Amino acid sequence: MNSDIERQLQASYPALYSHLAPRWEGAPLFECEDGWRAIVEALSLRLMPYADLGLSVTTVKQKLGALRIGIELVPGDRRIEDWTRVDRWIHEATEQSRVTCERCGDVGCMRTEQGRRHPQVLCTQCAKARGCAAP
């Protein structure tokens, strides 16, 4: 994700992203493209109330064509139904990413760019621009 969007998400949800760090020097904090910004932002809004209970996001990345969100829970006052709800929201965000173009946010499907092994969700227009095979 571009650095301007990363900074905006961190500024909007500081308690959630305080433990998020690049996996290597020069790496982005959010290891996905800009098209998933709305998914990440919607999930962040849902998770924000739980930051006061010790929840923080440790990973935001694309893996095997889908959004992966890692969280850390600090011991504290937790109700099991709340954490079940959090897991469900993360799963819903992952499922939404499977049909959302990672580059532009339009409706997309899993495709593999020529010369790459790993799939990515792209819309028809972005797939053509990247030389991807039809699904």
Q: What is the pLDDT of residues 25-53, one digit of tens each?
A: 887 889 999 999 999 999 999 999 988 88
Domain shared by 8 and 63, yes or no:
yes
Same domain, 18 and 42: yes
- pTM passes above 0.85: yes
Q: 83 with 45, same domain?
A: yes
Angle between helices 3-12 and 37-51 (to 10 degrees): 30
Note every long-range contact of 49-54, with CB atoms under 8 Å and residues 24 or more positions apart, other chains counting.
50/82, 50/86, 51/13, 51/15, 51/16, 52/15, 53/77, 53/78, 53/82, 54/78
Is 35 in the same domain as 82? yes
The separation between the first and the last C-alpha atoms of the chain, rounded to the nearest angstrom, is: 25
Are 130 and 64 members of one domain?
no
Quick one: 10 and 61 in the same domain?
yes
Task: Provide the number of structural domains found in the chain.
Answer: 2
Domain that holds residue 74: 3-98
**Are 59 and 29 in the same domain?**
yes
Residue 53 CA to residue 48 CA, distance in Å, equals: 10
Verify that 51 and 108 share a domain, yes or no. no
Q: Domain check: are 26 and 71 in the same one?
A: yes
Over the stretch 64-114, which tens digit does the pLDDT of each residue have? 999 999 998 766 656 656 788 899 999 999 999 999 999 999 999 998 877
Q: Output the six-digit token pair for 76.
A: 């504290």
Which residue, 115, 109, 36, is CA-closest to 125?
109
